[in-house]
Amino acid sequence: MNERELERKARVAQLLLDGARTLGETLDPDRVYDRFHDLLTSFVPHDGVLVSSYDAGEGLIRCDYAWSDGNRLDSSVFPPVPLNRQGGGMQSKVIVTGEPLLFNDVAEVVQQPGGTYYDVDREGKVRKLPDSGPPGSRAAMMVPVKHEGGVVGVVQVMSNSAQYSFDQLELVDGLVQQMAAAVRNARLHREQRRLEAAEVAARAVAAEREQAANVLDAVGDGIFLVDGAGVIRLWNRAAALVTGLRGDSVRDTPVVDVFPEWEALVARIPVVEHGATAQAATLPARVGTRDLWLSFVAVSIPDGIVYAFRDLTSERRLEEEKSDFIATISHELRTPMAAVYGAAQTLLMRNDELTPEQKQAMLEMVASQSARLGQITEAVLLATQLDRGTLSVESEAVDIGELARATVEAMRPQLPPSADVDLEIAPQVGTASGARDRIQQVLVNLLDNAVKYGGEGTVNVRVEPANGVVRILVTDSGPGIPFAEQQRIFEKFYRSGPELTRATGGTGLGLYISRELVQRMGGHLEVRSHPGAGSTFVVELPRADVEMHRFR
């Protein structure tokens, strides 16, 4: 290589280095093109520059930057052209071969068939060549833009008067690759910024969603959304708490699977449009396996209908309890009061007509009915004390075997002749810890029930020791208690059978009081019954010796 050539190469290298620096200083792709054009202008005379990109996926060549006769043009005026794989057309040839081209005879080239050529004037007016006359350019250089082994674009430099040399082509090629790298860099940077901004925005949206979800979960009312297809899309924490159904088991299931009587329920809930004042409807609702009283409001939104509900089951139960209480007590009081009143009236008005035996019978009736009235009042007061937690139950060592025997003996004369009570006391029962009179009260109640509800057969009372407890079992051979009622009979005022029409009197407080008393003595009361096969009520009380041992 001669000295002149070496010098030239060194100059080219220097130019390219400077070019790379200048191009790399900006991170805006548009500014990169402008700088590239400025650099080019200082080294290569030209009248037009066109930067196009080639998208291999679409097979289209698009103009990214255009400059003609001293003006920057809007690149969108150039229609995208499809790649001509046969190599017709100068741009296509460069893309297909990956080799730069140099022409000093543009007018001739555009005459050749197979290519599509345009000419653009300084106003950006596009002419199709050669149909609309000869091209303005005389010489042209075309350089492929390469990236990762493929051609991703073409840069054209055109002159209307000058002739181009291969040295110039070499320089332009170098500059083009620098420019392309700078554009790629700028685009990557811009894309990264866009992604970062998108991420920040996505995070903000997620945070907002999370906040909304947190708020929804913190709300005390149950909230759920039913979409247009009748599927539950949202189920907040309160909804899960009230119904016992977790969000993940309910979400995306048809609402009718969650509320079995949904059709009937929804017909009674007024739905208002978003923004209007909602009207609440308090309804009994079966949700999953629970029967609840829920107060619903419903609002229609574009995604479906939002239902909010509040659990009023305990308020309702209280209401029901109150009315049960009044109904039961007034019914239970009426019979003995009417008897006492009737007897008193008779004694007053017809005293002279009555025999001493009749008077005696009436007075006995007044006494027994007054005792019944006293018992009812006593039961109500006791239940109230238990409710309020104001009843104290002492604890002593009680010989349960002896207590059972005494109770059965005391009750025997009062039982109807058909009732037979059989007592069985296992050896070494030991003593239980509790209050003697309260245990007796429980036993009397259980025996009373066994005789009242247990039919004709024998009532069996068994006392036995068991693991750390003394157990009393009261078994009858009556009709038994349906499974569905075995827990309910321990509720206050609960009486099975049709309301107020039962032959046997009672307040429905006996088992409630019994269970509460046993629990206060540290024991349990439960029932085992198979409908049709009698019932066994089981009382378990802690053994007194075990208790003492524990406190020693």
Rounded distance between C-alpha atoms, residue 416 and residue 194, angstroms: 93
The residue among 43 and 494 lying less far from ligand ADP, judged by its C-beta, is 494
Rounded distance between C-alpha atoms, residue 181 and residue 176, angstroms: 9
Q: Minimum distance from CB of 389 to ligand ADP (Å)?
A: 20
Q: Indicate whether 489 belongs to the interface with ligand ADP (CB under 6 A).
A: yes
Tell me how many residues contact ligand ADP (CB under 6 A): 21
Measure the CA dihedral 131/134/136/137, to 10°. 110
Rounded distance between C-alpha atoms, residue 187 and residue 192, angstroms: 8
The residue among 258 and 442 lying less far from ligand ADP, judged by its C-beta, is 442
| Residue 309, H or E segment | strand 304-311
Place of tokens 């990762």: 148
Print the binding letters for residues 522-551 with ligand ADP: x by CB under 6 A, - otherwise: -------------x----------------
Q: Indicate whether 508 belongs to the interface with ligand ADP (CB under 6 A).
A: yes
Place of tokens 């200048």: 22
Rounded distance between C-alpha atoms, residue 514 and residue 506, angstroms: 14
Q: Minimum distance from CB of 320 to ligand ADP (Å)?
A: 16
Q: Indicate whether 144 belongs to the interface with ligand ADP (CB under 6 A).
A: no
412-471 residues in contact with ligand ADP (CB under 6 A) are: 445, 449-450, 453-454
Interface residue with ligand ADP among 507, 525, 541, 544 (CB under 6 A) is 507
Q: Indicate whether 478 belongs to the interface with ligand ADP (CB under 6 A).
A: yes
Interface residue with ligand ADP among 403, 472, 511, 525 (CB under 6 A) is 511
**Crossing angle of the two packed helices 356-388 and 313-349, in degrees rounded to 10:** 160
The residue among 89 and 506 lying less far from ligand ADP, judged by its C-beta, is 506
The residue among 92 and 328 lying less far from ligand ADP, judged by its C-beta, is 328
Q: Which residues pair with 286 in a beta bridge?
A: 291
Return the range that interacts with ligand ADP (CB under 6 A); candidates 17-25, 185-193, 408-416, 509-517: 509-517
Interface residue with ligand ADP among 48, 100, 115, 510 (CB under 6 A) is 510
Amino acid making up residue 172: V
Q: Which residue is nearest to ligand ADP (CB)?
A: 506
3-class DSSP assignment, residue 377 = helix
Q: Indicate whether 135 belongs to the interface with ligand ADP (CB under 6 A).
A: no
Q: Is the peptide bond before 130 cis (omega within 30 degrees of 0)?
A: yes
The residue among 342 and 531 lying less far from ligand ADP, judged by its C-beta, is 531
Q: Minimum distance from CB of 206 to ligand ADP (Å)?
A: 57
Measure CA 473 to chain center: 47
Amino acid making up residue 60: L
The residue among 136 and 506 lying less far from ligand ADP, judged by its C-beta, is 506
Interface residue with ligand ADP among 481, 521, 539, 541 (CB under 6 A) is 481
Measure the CA dihedral 334/336/341/343, to 10°. 150
Amino acid making up residue 81: V
- Residue length, the chain? 552
Under a CB-based contact definition with an 8 Å cutoff, are residues 465 and 426 in contact?
A: yes
Residues that bind ligand ADP (CB under 6 A): 445, 449-450, 453-454, 476, 478, 481, 489, 494-497, 506-512, 535
